[in-house]
Amino acid sequence: MKTISFQKGSFEGQNLGESIELSCDVCIVGSGPGGATAAKIFSEKGLSVILVEAGPYHQAERFRMHEHEGYSALYQDGGQRTSADGAIQIYQGACVGGGSTVNWTTCFRLPEATLNDWHENHGCKSLHQSDLEEPYTKVEERLGIQTTPESGVNANNAILREGAHTLGWEAARTKRNVRGCAQTSFCGLGCPVDAKQSMLVTHIPDALEHNTMLLSRVYAKAFSGSSRVEKLECIALDASGKPKNDIDVHIKAKNFIASAGAINTPALLLRSSILKNCRGARHIGRRTFLHPVVLSAALMRTRVEGFRGAPQSIASHAHITHGSEESPAFFLEAAPVHPALAASALPGIDLNHRRAMERLPYIAGHIALMADGFYGDEGGHITLDSSGRPKLHYPMSSWLRHGFLKGHKALAQLQFAAGARALLSTHTNMGWQRDALRINALEVEDYRPNSFFCASAHQMGGCAFGSDPARSVVNDEDARVYGIDNLQVIDGSLFPTSLGVNPQLSIYALATHYASRTL
């Protein structure tokens, strides 16, 4: 193995022809909101940072707005990731910039009620809302986070707002991290005009300008060492993301950060035998949350063209306080109606499915996102398959199914209030509904896994932080893994519950907070 000296700049694993060893001050796995933000801050402090990313380094000119290219290149498992029983479609970024490169740009601060719940029920004593004020200000400024102008609300989102307001429910324009949005609607396939202020065009170039070496197409297998992590063992990938088995990349560092995102960070820790004896080992991968989504597709009288304009600009949190022991709270948002996305969500095959697709321009798509992890809910957990890849086991508890039921009923009410002619709940045994009768007659039993469309774009938890090492993997004081001094977790896997709002801004803020106060 050849020793190579640290050199700032970006390097691509697929072009590497021999095994190498590198050294630096801080080695970070994952270039999404957590990892990129940490890289920026540590390198601005003058530390040498190596940022390891399994996905490709694609930039605007590669974002050609084609569904057949984008999902396979930029998403985990080429866009085919699901929960272990196939019941939940998992959309998760797998490229430089992580989820920020492909997300829909909605920004919310961490709700006070969620943080209070962490204080009361999850032993998070050290983190306070006031700690995040300065990080929010910095991030909102750098990422151009601002309320969407009225001109940025497309018909799909306007229908969501109209339905909510007709029913007297709160619904308002959201903030987005964009500058000069061209309304292409293709946020989910990478912004072709760099209007989206993702990590790709903000914190990563900031980091590269300082002292960061970005290694794309390099997959982190495991941390190794005895009581401290001594090195990160990686393997180079080829251009299509397959392992080049003979080419290893080993990285020695003083400090290591796991920022591979929920599902993947727990998997990385589970693969690392050094973590087996850490104090929170048995919690690794536990309490993984998804904001599981049910969708309702409404057939409108006029063209909606949900494949045009910003995918999300309106949200309704009217039901976010309605959680209980019986069912989760939820919030309502719009979902873009691009053909491949719609095709997998709409039920049926053959002519049934085709007829629904032929109405695509008239379809409005709205989702109810469940706030999982509250009222005793444990969410899902991660194990490894035979090749060391993560498997997410996420049971559809009765509590969750009650939430799906309520979510679907709320969506139906909203869509009919906004003038829908008919709607599809996505149940495999139900066609178009011209009124809410059958939707209102739905029961919890109708939510058996794989009998309706369920998805997640917000993976959270699996390495919960807190002040009590008996209950948490990571210390909420400094994001260090309990028992391993030089290993931190900085990404969405820190959350002990879901958030009840879209997570990216909370991840930027937490990453800023922890990276600023450590090392």
Partner 1 sequence: MKRRGFIRWGSISAVGLFGFSALKKNLFSRYTQTDIATQDQLESLSHGSFVVLSAAVDAILAPSMRAAFPAHRLALEIDKALSNNSPANIADFSKALWALEFPLSRGSTQKVLFRFSSLSRSERREVLDGWRLHSLTTYRQAYEGLRKLTLATYYARSERSQILGYSGPAFVKAPAPLHKGNYAQQSKSWSAIGAKPSKALINAMQTQRPKAQQ
Ligand X SMILES: Cc1cc2nc3c(=O)[nH]c(=O)nc-3n(C[C@H](O)[C@H](O)[C@H](O)COP(=O)(O)OP(=O)(O)OC[C@H]3O[C@@H](n4cnc5c(N)ncnc54)[C@H](O)[C@@H]3O)c2cc1C
Shortest separation between residue 398's beta carbon and ligand X, angstroms: 27
Closest C-alpha to 187, from 36, 91, 335, 311:
311
Binding test (CB under 6 A) with ligand X, winner from 83, 103, 157, 426: 103
Binding at 293: pick from ligand X, partner 1, none (beta carbon under 5-8 Å per type)? none
**30 part of the interface to ligand X, by CB under 6 A:** yes
Binding test (CB under 6 A) with ligand X, winner from 73, 298, 507, 515: 507
**223 part of the interface to ligand X, by CB under 6 A:** no
Closest C-alpha to 443, from 409, 417, 475:
409
Binding test (CB under 8 A) with partner 1, winner from 45, 244, 252, 279: 244
Shortest separation between residue 306's beta carbon and partner 1, angstroms: 10
Binding test (CB under 6 A) with ligand X, winner from 492, 495, 512, 515: 492
* Angstrom distance (rounded) from CA 19 to CA 12: 13
Sole window of 32-40, 160-168, 351-359, 427-435 interacting with ligand X (rule: CB under 6 A): 32-40
Q: CA Rg, the chain, in Å?
A: 22
Helix H segments across 32-103?
A: 33-44, 67-74, 99-102
Shortest separation between residue 471's beta carbon and partner 1, angstroms: 24
Nearest CB to ligand X, comparing residues 55 and 500: 55
Per-residue interface string for the shown chain with partner 1, residues 43-82, x marking contact by CB under 8 A: --------------x-xxx-xxxxxx--xx----xxxx-x
Binding at 103: pick from partner 1, ligand X, none (beta carbon under 5-8 Å per type)? ligand X
Tell me the site size for partner 1, rule CB under 8 A.
Answer: 95
Nearest CB to ligand X, comparing residues 433 and 504: 504
Q: Which helix (H) or strand (E) holds 511?
A: helix 504-517
* Angstrom distance (rounded) from CA 107 to CA 193: 20
* DSSP string computed for 400-436: HHHHHHHHHHHHHHHHHHTT-SEEE---TT---BSSS
Residue 112 tokens read as: 């006070």
* Angstrom distance (rounded) from CA 136 to CA 506: 8
* Amino acid symbol at 469: P
Nearest CB to ligand X, comparing residues 14 and 312: 312
Q: Is 240 buried (19+), middle (13-18) or exposed (0-12) by CB count in 10 A? A: exposed
Nearest CB to partner 1, comparing residues 260 and 474: 260
**149 part of the interface to partner 1, by CB under 8 A:** no
**188 part of the interface to ligand X, by CB under 6 A:** yes
Binding test (CB under 6 A) with ligand X, winner from 11, 42, 71, 91: 91
Sole window of 160-168, 285-293, 311-319, 448-456 interacting with partner 1 (rule: CB under 8 A): 448-456
Sole window of 40-48, 333-341, 488-496, 499-507 interacting with partner 1 (rule: CB under 8 A): 333-341
Binding test (CB under 8 A) with partner 1, winner from 46, 120, 168, 180: 180
* Angstrom distance (rounded) from CA 215 to CA 211: 13
Binding test (CB under 8 A) with partner 1, winner from 89, 415, 456, 498: 89
DSSP class of 103: S
Helix H segments across 56-182?
A: 67-74, 99-102, 112-121, 129-142, 155-166
Residues ≥6 apart with Cβ < 8 Å to 193? 60, 180, 182, 184
Task: Give how far the C-alpha of residue 358 lies from the chain's centroid of Cα atoms, to the nearest Å.
Answer: 31
Q: Please answer whether residues 39 and 204 qualify as being in contact, where contact means their C-beta atoms are separated by less than 8 angstroms.
A: yes
Q: Is 321 buried (19+), middle (13-18) or exposed (0-12) by CB count in 10 A? A: exposed
Binding test (CB under 6 A) with ligand X, winner from 88, 251, 268, 412: 268
Q: Per CB under 8 A, which of residues 212..241 are in contact with partner 1? A: 214, 216, 238-241
Binding at 268: pick from partner 1, ligand X, none (beta carbon under 5-8 Å per type)? ligand X
Sole window of 162-170, 251-259, 382-390, 472-480 interacting with partner 1 (rule: CB under 8 A): 382-390
* DSSP string computed for 318-360: TTTT---SSS--EEEEE----HHHHHHHS---HHHHHHHHTTG
Q: Per CB under 6 A, which of residues 304..323 are in contact with ligand X? A: 312
Sole window of 31-39, 161-169, 201-209, 345-353 interacting with ligand X (rule: CB under 6 A): 31-39
Shortest separation between residue 33's beta carbon and ligand X, angstroms: 4
* Angstrom distance (rounded) from CA 249 to CA 114: 40
Per-residue interface string for the shown chain with ligand X, residues 40-69, x marking contact by CB under 6 A: ------------xxxx--------------
Report CA-CA distances (Å) from 361 to 117, 248, 423. Answer: 42, 49, 14
Sole window of 279-287, 299-307, 414-422, 434-442 interacting with partner 1 (rule: CB under 8 A): 299-307
Phi, psi of 370 (to 5 degrees): -80, 135
**259 part of the interface to ligand X, by CB under 6 A:** yes
Nearest CB to ligand X, comparing residues 222 and 300: 222
* Angstrom distance (rounded) from CA 203 to CA 139: 10
Binding test (CB under 6 A) with ligand X, winner from 14, 43, 48, 105: 105
Which residues of the shown chain bind ligand X in the complex (CB under 6 A)?
29-35, 52-55, 91-95, 98-100, 102-106, 188, 219-220, 259-261, 264, 268, 312, 457-458, 491-492, 502-504, 507
